[in-house]
Structure 1
Amino acid sequence: MAAGLSGGDGWNLPRGEEDGEVDWSAIIVMAIEEPIINIEEIDSDSFDSKEAAYDFYNEYGGRVGFSIRREYKNNSQKDGKVTSRNFVCCKEGKRSEDKRNRKIKNRRAETCTDCRARMLIAFNMEFGKYIVKDFKDTHDHPLISEDCAHMMPSQQKIKFVQAIDVELAADYGMPVRKAFELSSRQAGGRESIGFMKVDVQNYIWTRRQNDLELGDVNWLMNYFQTQCLEDPSLFYAVQLDSSAMITNIFWADSKMILDYGHFGDVLTFDTMYKLVYRNRPFAVFVDLNHHRETVVFGAAFMYDETTDSFGWLFNTFLNAMSHKALRMILTNQDAVMAKALVQVMLDTKHLLYTWHLMQNAQKHLGNLPVGGNGIKSVISKLMYEIEGKEEFLLE
């Protein structure tokens, strides 16, 4: 066999007599040609904490080209302090045999190779620090090139400064993809950013979960109180049930109230949005301004869609808008909502969405033999082509 061929990632790969023909069976254990860090320096190094040791070994793995993970640890029986901790290569160990089903055709690819690379630290009582007790730097698998090192699991970490940018982007409604691209450009490219797009998504989700530790309602109340300091004209109200539990929540900021004063003669009330994880209605009062741009006059989280809930919401909306009456309001075909509107907004004309009328006509009358293009063409003609009452009755 000819001499080994030095690979671009630092490995000596065995080569056959013919070009391009590699004898992979000859690959047993391969080591790095030039270690990044002197082994003697590592053996004599000490760390103030196990976290500092992890960061050190993780940085070493990133420069060499392998990902790390925490393995076992030993705790003191007296105070529970970690007395020793083992950090290993992510390919340490082997997958145990799955005895549940031996007839699986497409098994998952084996990722572990029982790699023996590791760094073992132990707490030294005399110095009060963690020292390296054992260090092995040989790997039995190819290493990752430097330009792909940021994709390794242990290297994917959002730094404090980057986290601030991600939070600001999320607060302003920027999509995860654009937030990741912005961070990539600031860092000089994806290979320099140190994390992946999925890490941004996970960070935002974790942050929101932490914000909601007090509970959804408590967090929302704290948010309203904070916003009142910045916007004294912010209006919000809550409805309580017989057990003093919050059921419905309505709010409108100063811009919403001002827009309603200018463009609030006609509006649309929509409850089609749902909170997916609770299936609760999210209601909005919206309309168009003089530039045909959508403007929001108020929003509400509702516990249910009953007459009492709608009645409270419509009354609260009028209170927030200084009881300025509406001329017309457009809603869907909901009998419960219509009943609440009649009770609260006596002088307001109640109109229905043409889209809902068309959908209901197709749902309930779609099988009628009306000829032509079906019931849809008939309803369209009645709504858009006929103007007078007499002509409508004749049709």
Structure 2
Amino acid sequence: MADKGKDMLENLDDIVLVESESENVVEKVNLLGDEIVARDDVPLRVPEVGMKFNDENELFDYYKKFAYAEGFPVRKKNSKKDNDDVLRYVTMTCSREGKRSSTTIGSLKSQPTIQTGCKARLIASMDSRGIWRINTVNLEHNHKTSPSKSRLYRCNRKLSAHVKRRLQVNDIAGILLHKSFNSAVVEAGGYENMTYMEKDRRNYVEQVRRLRLGEGDAAAIQSYFSKMQASFARFYFCIDLDEDSRLKSVFWADNRSRQVYKEFGDVVTFDTTYLTNKYDMPFAPFVGINHHGQSTLLGCGLVSNEDTDTFVWLFRTWLQCMHEKAPQGIITDQDKAMQNAIAIVFPDTKHRWCLWHILKKLPEKFGYHVDKGSVFHAIHSLVYDSQFVEESEDGWRVMIDTYDLHDNAWLSGVYDNRCRWVPCYFKTSFWAGMSTTQRSECMNAFFDGYVHSKTSLKQFVEQYERALKNKVEKEIQADFKSFSQMVPCATRYEMEKQFQAVYTIAKFREVQEEFTGKLYCDLISTSEGSSGTTYEVCEEQINDEQSHGKTFFVSFQREDCQIVCSCHLFEFRGIICRHMIVVLIRNGIKHVPDRYILRRWRRDMMKAKLQVYKNGSNMNAKWGVRVPPKEIGQRHDQVMLALTHISFKYLNGHNIA
């Protein structure tokens, strides 16, 4: 024991002063490690009757360090004051003293307990001079002790002021707690050097958040939104309350989202499957796609229920926020309540189901099938390779017969609604290339660094604001890249130069891929008809080192340069396809008409139109909704500035250029 103690002398940091009753000297005693070790060969000291301390805190500090060295937890059990309200007696015990209440005996879900009825303790009193003296000591425990586990007992865990400050800063910055803790472990040199556990950090942060929230949830969030509306022009929010004035749902959108919607609100995705916060309110973002092909937020809500009435409220609120302009298309999952609400609020909007949500269910629905691999392949081929409705439906019937799937209720259900999710039924409409709600999932992934399941309502909207600013910065950088850089053309066709001159880098790369893909296309035949010339184009498609030819049909009218391909890439994504390029080149077309160069993909796209508002707002008592003021000022003409003047025009309603 002595040798072990000597080996630890070089690492003695915590020293306590102990006065001996028999000797009028002060000894420096180290209280760390597996044993209590004296420095410079001072005799080992353990708690004993007669030891004196200057005050009660010094006594408790000493006993804690002794317990740490021995490997057991401690706590103050009893304290007694005199008639002058001065503390005179104190009992300090092993934290495993006492026993759990008998009411928990026999419970099928009883929780583990630390209490074992341990009698180890220390009793002390203060004399007339204010000196504390140990009167009783019991060092016997009825359980094992372990110095190596001392750091894990609650009494020995603490967060320093530095750690607390860092936690608050990281929480405001949106850094997840587990990432913050892992960084602290590395900084400390390992878990064994940590003075706290991860749950201590989490408990502290949640406490700070509660203190930050302060007032009731509904009142706090409305107060926050009111502040945002006063600070930022045209910040919009709506709160839905129940009959007892309890918060049901909330929606908000900053001015930038409202302006972006005017340019990129043609197609949106809506998904509530991402995250529910600590109040079990699903996050419901409206997501579009900008001119760089990036996800862009068009407002979002938190909803307490996922029924038709709730979605009707949310969709109507969003529509009001977006100047009563409904989207051309909306993508959701198969939720029936959503479908009903969309039919009510957006009767003229095309509604599609998320293809990914459907296909991901295949293993669940056909995992039992002896030919499940073949079934998966057949469904994927029908979904992705069918150009025409007739082709898809004929192939579906063959698949049902081949694998005897007539009695599969799920498959029958999705087939009855095939026009909502099989691409060949809707690819003639513009969807900005969005096939699934993975646009929403991409946006959700963006918010992963800022919000989580324990985020409070007020924290949620605050973190949303920070995350959105980060998203805006990414778009600024993409704007700058498209302004300051140019991707060289891959061919010498003037048509490619047309797109190079006006499209963003991201979208020009998509166009360029079609120009290079032209190399794999051959004109097979032509036929004349009343609607112009139809060209048969065969494209060699190479997948997994195997190639096969696929035929596409391109209709072309020379008089007005109207061109349509059976792949409908242009109608669906707004990108001219390689099959069309082959036909245009064949006919000597050097410049495509402007209708094939979409405004929404241009690099000089401006998303904001400055509008003047008067201050003021009104309250709709029936809905419990705060409604932004009506427009009463003059509208400025849309500012179509070249990117040479853009450092980014409007952030949360303010021109910061």
What TM-score do the two structures reach when normalised by structure 1?
0.68
Tell me the equivalent position of 1:385: 385
Equivalent pairs, count: 356
Tell me the equivalent position of 1:199: 200
**1:169 corresponds to which letter in structure 2?**
N
Tell me the equivalent position of 1:118: 122
Tell me the equivalent position of 2:158: 157
After superposition, the Cα gap between the structure-2 partners of 1:354 and 1:142, relative to the gap in structure 1 and judged at 3 Å, is closer
Query: What SS does the corresponding residue of 1:297 show, helix, strand or coil?
Result: strand
After superposition, the Cα gap between the structure-2 partners of 1:45 and 1:247, relative to the gap in structure 1 and judged at 3 Å, is same
The C-alpha deviation readout for 1:366-387, integer Å capped at 9, x for no partner, is 999999823x445434432222
CA contact (8 A) 2:261 2:322 kept: yes
> What is the alpha-carbon distance in structure 2 between the residues aligned to residue 366 and residue 149 of structure 1?
50
In the TM superposition, residue 333 of structure 1 has moved relative to its aligned partner by 2.2
Equivalent runs, 1:192-271 vs 2, <5 Å: 192-209=193-210, 214-225=215-226, 227-228=228-229, 231=232, 233-257=234-258, 259-271=260-272
> What is the alpha-carbon distance in structure 2 between the residues aligned to residue 391 and residue 68 of structure 1?
74
> What is the alpha-carbon distance in structure 1 between the residues aligned to residue 181 and residue 271 of structure 2?
33
Query: What SS does the corresponding residue of 2:306 show, helix, strand or coil?
Result: coil
Is 1:8 equivalent to 2:4 in the alignment? yes
After superposition, the Cα gap between the structure-2 partners of 1:251 and 1:96, relative to the gap in structure 1 and judged at 3 Å, is closer
Tell me the equivalent position of 1:73: 78
After superposition, the Cα gap between the structure-2 partners of 1:364 and 1:44, relative to the gap in structure 1 and judged at 3 Å, is closer
Q: Aligned to 1:43, which of 29, 52, 56?
A: 52
The C-alpha deviation readout for 1:185-231, integer Å capped at 9, x for no partner, is 55566555421223223323444455567444344334434555665
CA contact (8 A) 2:264 2:290 kept: yes
Equivalent runs, 1:276-355 vs 2, <5 Å: 279-355=280-356
In the TM superposition, residue 154 of structure 1 has moved relative to its aligned partner by 1.8
In the TM superposition, residue 173 of structure 1 has moved relative to its aligned partner by 3.1
Is 1:87 equivalent to 2:80 in the alignment? no
> What is the alpha-carbon distance in structure 2 between the residues aligned to residue 81 and residue 63 of structure 1?
29
> What is the alpha-carbon distance in structure 2 between the residues aligned to residue 333 and residue 228 of structure 1?
35
After superposition, the Cα gap between the structure-2 partners of 1:46 and 1:173, relative to the gap in structure 1 and judged at 3 Å, is same
CA contact (8 A) 1:36 1:64 kept: no
Larger radius of gyration: 2
> What is the alpha-carbon distance in structure 2 between the residues aligned to residue 130 and residue 256 of structure 1?
68
After superposition, the Cα gap between the structure-2 partners of 1:96 and 1:335, relative to the gap in structure 1 and judged at 3 Å, is closer
**2:124 corresponds to which letter in structure 1?**
L
The C-alpha deviation readout for 1:230-265, integer Å capped at 9, x for no partner, is 655532211233444332211223454455445332
In the TM superposition, residue 267 of structure 1 has moved relative to its aligned partner by 1.5
Query: What SS does the corresponding residue of 1:275 show, helix, strand or coil?
Result: coil
Query: What SS does the corresponding residue of 2:374 show, helix, strand or coil?
Result: coil
> What is the alpha-carbon distance in structure 1 between the residues aligned to residue 227 and residue 131 of structure 2?
45
> What is the alpha-carbon distance in structure 2 between the residues aligned to residue 344 and residue 90 of structure 1?
62
In the TM superposition, residue 388 of structure 1 has moved relative to its aligned partner by 2.5
Tell me the equivalent position of 2:614: none
Equivalent runs, 1:368-383 vs 2, <5 Å: 373-374=374-375, 376-383=376-383
**1:341 corresponds to which letter in structure 2?**
I
After superposition, the Cα gap between the structure-2 partners of 1:367 and 1:253, relative to the gap in structure 1 and judged at 3 Å, is same
CA contact (8 A) 1:92 1:112 kept: yes
After superposition, the Cα gap between the structure-2 partners of 1:329 and 1:136, relative to the gap in structure 1 and judged at 3 Å, is same
The C-alpha deviation readout for 1:72-97, integer Å capped at 9, x for no partner, is 21456989886532223446679999
After superposition, the Cα gap between the structure-2 partners of 1:9 and 1:345, relative to the gap in structure 1 and judged at 3 Å, is farther
> What is the alpha-carbon distance in structure 2 between the residues aligned to residue 334 and residue 59 of structure 1?
58
CA contact (8 A) 1:76 1:83 kept: yes
Tell me the equivalent position of 1:14: none
Query: What SS does the corresponding residue of 2:4 show, helix, strand or coil?
Result: coil
**1:300 corresponds to which letter in structure 2?**
G
Is 1:56 equivalent to 2:61 in the alignment? yes
> What is the alpha-carbon distance in structure 2 between the residues aligned to residue 35 and residue 371 of structure 1?
74
**2:386 corresponds to which letter in structure 1?**
I
After superposition, the Cα gap between the structure-2 partners of 1:337 and 1:59, relative to the gap in structure 1 and judged at 3 Å, is same
CA contact (8 A) 1:67 1:154 kept: no
> What is the alpha-carbon distance in structure 2 between the residues aligned to residue 354 and residue 303 of structure 1?
26
CA contact (8 A) 1:9 1:143 kept: no
After superposition, the Cα gap between the structure-2 partners of 1:110 and 1:9, relative to the gap in structure 1 and judged at 3 Å, is farther
Tell me the equivalent position of 1:23: none
CA contact (8 A) 1:248 1:302 kept: yes
CA contact (8 A) 2:151 2:157 kept: yes
The C-alpha deviation readout for 1:350-375, integer Å capped at 9, x for no partner, is 1111134446788889999999823x
After superposition, the Cα gap between the structure-2 partners of 1:381 and 1:346, relative to the gap in structure 1 and judged at 3 Å, is same
> What is the alpha-carbon distance in structure 1 between the residues aligned to residue 100 and residue 202 of structure 2?
29
Query: What SS does the corresponding residue of 1:271 show, helix, strand or coil?
Result: coil
- Point out the more displaced range, 300-309 or 154-163: 300-309
What TM-score do the two structures reach when normalised by structure 2?
0.44
After superposition, the Cα gap between the structure-2 partners of 1:392 and 1:188, relative to the gap in structure 1 and judged at 3 Å, is closer
> What is the alpha-carbon distance in structure 1 between the residues aligned to residue 53 and residue 355 of structure 2?
78
- Point out the more displaced range, 110-119 or 325-334: 110-119
Identity %: 24
CA contact (8 A) 1:120 1:132 kept: yes
RMSD: 4.8
Q: Aligned to 1:144, which of 144, 147, 164?
A: 147
Tell me the equivalent position of 1:176: 177
Query: What SS does the corresponding residue of 1:296 show, helix, strand or coil?
Result: strand
CA contact (8 A) 1:119 1:135 kept: yes
CA contact (8 A) 1:66 1:90 kept: no
**1:177 corresponds to which letter in structure 2?**
H
The C-alpha deviation readout for 1:289-331, integer Å capped at 9, x for no partner, is 4555443322222232333322221121123334443221101
> What is the alpha-carbon distance in structure 2 between the residues aligned to residue 151 and residue 363 of structure 1?
43
After superposition, the Cα gap between the structure-2 partners of 1:391 and 1:339, relative to the gap in structure 1 and judged at 3 Å, is same
In the TM superposition, residue 160 of structure 1 has moved relative to its aligned partner by 2.4
CA contact (8 A) 1:268 1:331 kept: yes
**1:385 corresponds to which letter in structure 2?**
D
Unaligned runs of 5+ in 1: 12-29, 102-107
After superposition, the Cα gap between the structure-2 partners of 1:136 and 1:232, relative to the gap in structure 1 and judged at 3 Å, is farther
